[in-house]
Structure 1
Amino acid sequence: MNLRTRTVVALLLLLAAAALLLAGCGSDSSSDSKSSSTTTTEAATSGDDDQPGGDDLLPIVVESPKPFASVYRSFTLSGTAVANEGTLRWQILDASGKPLAQGTITASCGGPCRGDFSTKVNVAKVTPGSWELHVFEPPTADDDPARRNDTIVPITITTGPIDSSDPAADAPPPGGVPANGTGA
């Protein structure tokens, strides 16, 4: 092989190595956190509290109650979140979007850190039925009034203690309308 051929081969190898290095340096295209809300009914596992929020989890992960859980009088609302100053709000909404119960939670740390949150939610005064539990970041002064990172968990509030063999037989279907359709 002459000098010119060796130079061309070496240059091609150098270009191929550089292309491989650059391919590993791409950035992920994450969306702007203010753009739209996220809705889910699936729970995910949590990451470490001290890790930045750049993991594969949703910004707000509700670990308890599980989707479609039946609850009576009170339940523990817990999970993890990456939220501004760790501040979250929760609401139980009826079919028309009217809040039946609501409150505020603070995660163990604020964004970009993923923090744990847990609180006891009293639902003794909420009409039994199938409702939506919303956990979301409240808007900041710079935001529009829409909820940010809204995670929705369907739940059923029962009229009596929960029997594991029949978890929600006494509760009306979604929207709080009984099966007979009378609304009473």
Structure 2
Amino acid sequence: DIVSATENFSDEYVIGRGAHGSVYRVELPTGQIVAAKKFNQTGSDVLPDMGFRNEIKALTEVRHRNIVKLYGFCKHPQCSFLVYEYIERGSLASILSSNEAAKRLDWAKRVNIIAGVADALSCMHHDHSVPVIHRDISSKNILLYSDFNACISDFGTTRLLNPDSSNWTGVAGTHGYIAP
């Protein structure tokens, strides 16, 4: 259904692009709208496959109202993609880059966005037996629902930490926030 609904992942359905793939708006035959992230097929490059596996692992470990919901995935030699809930307003970055859209973000909405992101990060870092470190929090990876509630997305660089050991890892993702 996903492949046919996007006409074999035609650019006409693209709503975002990243280092390892593109995100598509998909209207299913039932009328439900979802987002599908199709990973670039590069043959020998293992990075997209790692991102694919990281997202599945992290999003099946953590459930929270401010973390994007993973509905399913398809792993095939010719086409790998993840299926998520569709979040209407898109990224915080796209809203902030438009003067007209940014004007709709009054202080109450901005504080609500920050509180939602902080709540999700707290849940990821402290509320699970295995702490989840996102490693790429940026305005591009914060999506907004129609009511301006925030939702963290793009878990491709995520790490699940063993709480019984010392964990050191390199910096990944967008420059900016680094988890403690």
Above 0.5 in TM-score?
Answer: no
Query: Which protein has the bigger strand share?
Result: 1
Query: Which protein has the bigger helix share?
Result: 2
TM-score scaled to structure 2, two decimals?
Answer: 0.26
Higher relative contact order (CA 8 A, sep 6+): 1
TM-score scaled to structure 1, two decimals?
Answer: 0.26
